[in-house]
Chain A
């Protein structure tokens, strides 16, 4: 498929349905988008000490993220250079060296080959023949503790790639009274029979909640309000919030930035979700934050009201609610999402419990909210699989996007589909840039 035919699939206010359904395009996406972009892999707190590792995916590539003895984080392709077996099957762990289960080939924590049983059976030094060890992902970098890697040796620096979206990561970290966050509380996973782009398009879609989540909004409204401090308070509030009046959604800020990133802001304030501003837990939290940042500094941090931030093409996170979702494309019509929760170091323990309660209702595989999103992704995928309706229309507020600070485009209102148009502008750039 050449650049010209790919260009024909994307117009300013619509895309051809095959971008969601064509397996050939999916393979190209894996090479040209997931093979080039900086992908979010996780957070440094998952690999605190030398030898600590976790396994994950970068597009089609299975990788090991491991802290080497020199304290740097390495990202290694999880495939033995001998006969190709997965070297590491564990999701997380700690190891002094990685040993392949098949013939015992052994790798150091930087991936270098350090042991080959029966090495005298080879006519030349094995390490030379196989390139020294596990293939290394060429670029690895960290921003504010978040781990990124790129399968491409060339491309923009991480800082340039993130651009103004850095402020969302800054917000994530600066909300911690100790200035640090850590992954905690387990990783929720969910999957759906649909294209990977559907979830990234949905997270900043301010019109969908009223329709997709109509049933949980209604069920929550019919419920007598849980008492303050009850476990269910956060879940019920979140469901109700999905039913916010249209003016709330229209007045929400929605920004698109280079490389397909976007974020929603000025939406949730802490009084809309728990703990509310005058809640004792929040008062204590603000006091700890003020001790580090001063009154004005803390006020500035808490005034940043971001909802979902999309790091195209691999992640969607919520700085204000300590959730990070990593999107793993499996096939053109199969996607897996891993959702991580974070602890604000130095914050009252109840803040973390609230994060867990929030995670269960937003990212729990059996959530009354999430399951309706997944259902709609699958219905969309089924609909797009049929040839008659060729075009997918992305025109809400098309023409109304306005240039805004830091080189961003702001949606005319919060219900603009600017974030999707912006994602496809990046998609087209990645997909038509020749290798």
Chain B
């Protein structure tokens, strides 16, 4: 059986997640999008332990197409909820390789995100799971799942990227 070491060392994985966070915090959204594979999904479930984005609703569930639309929307001069764009700090921690095979690995981490926009600061906490694939260009995200600690609360609109 393959180990995590076969598909990516822990430091490589951490460096990848930190790069992702850095890109988001610096508004380099096209480069962030470039970290995802063409068949990628980006999921913020509504409920803790939600197993299925197809027969139950989600705060966000994007396939690659919708994720591209989401990122492109930030560029429009009348993207009202994104102007000004939220300023963020993504703090990634507790990185653990959950399992791995020859080509893919599943990585758990925690995220503390500070978001500021329009005289208002919000703090988010989440358990994050990445499914990463080793490609010729390095690690790429096949699926990203962000379980907000308050996902089932009565939340104001969410425009930051996790």
- Give me the interface of A with B, judged by CB distance under 8 Å: 184-193, 211-212, 214-216, 218-220, 222-223, 226, 230-232, 235-236, 239, 336, 339, 341, 352-353, 356, 359-361, 363-368, 370-372, 374-376, 379
Contact = CB atoms under 8 A, between A and B. Distances in A.
Nearest to B120: A193
B2 interface: no
A239 B79 CA distance: 13
Highest count of chain A CB atoms <10 Å: which of B44, B73, B79: B73
A372 B79 contact: yes
Highest count of chain A CB atoms <10 Å: which of B50, B62, B65, B157: B157
Interface in B40-76: 44, 46-47, 50, 54-63, 65-66, 68-70, 72-73, 75-76
B80 A356 contact: no
Nearest to B66: A232
Contacts of A352: 55
Contact of A368 (B54, B63, B73): B73
Contacts of B79: 215, 372
A196 to B, nearest CB: 14
A376 B70 contact: no
A363 B70 contact: no
Given A368-B73, A374-B81, A226 B155 contact: no
Contact of B157 (A185, A361, A374): A374
B159 interface: yes
Highest count of chain A CB atoms <10 Å: which of B57, B63, B78, B79: B57
A189 B155 contact: yes
B41 to A, nearest CB: 9
A253 B62 CA distance: 33
Smallest CB-CB A-B distances: 5 pairs:
A215-B76, A215-B79, A375-B81, A366-B60, A374-B157
Interface in B134-160: 152-159
Nearest to A361: B66
B72 A222 contact: yes
Interface of B: 44, 46-47, 50, 54-63, 65-66, 68-70, 72-73, 75-76, 78-82, 152-159
Highest count of chain B CB atoms <10 Å: which of A219, A235, A363: A219
A223 B65 contact: yes
A218 B157 contact: no
12 contacts: A190-B154, A215-B73, A220-B69, A232-B63, A232-B69, A356-B54, A360-B58, A366-B44, A366-B157, A371-B81, A374-B156, A375-B80
A185 B69 CA distance: 24
A366 B159 contact: yes
Given A190-B155, A218-B73, A223-B68, 16 more contacts: A187-B57, A190-B156, A192-B157, A219-B69, A219-B73, A222-B72, A232-B62, A232-B66, A339-B57, A361-B66, A366-B44, A366-B60, A368-B73, A371-B159, A372-B81, A379-B80
A368 B79 CA distance: 9
Given A185-B56, A219-B69, A368-B69, A214 B63 contact: no
B76 A230 contact: no
B57 A341 contact: yes
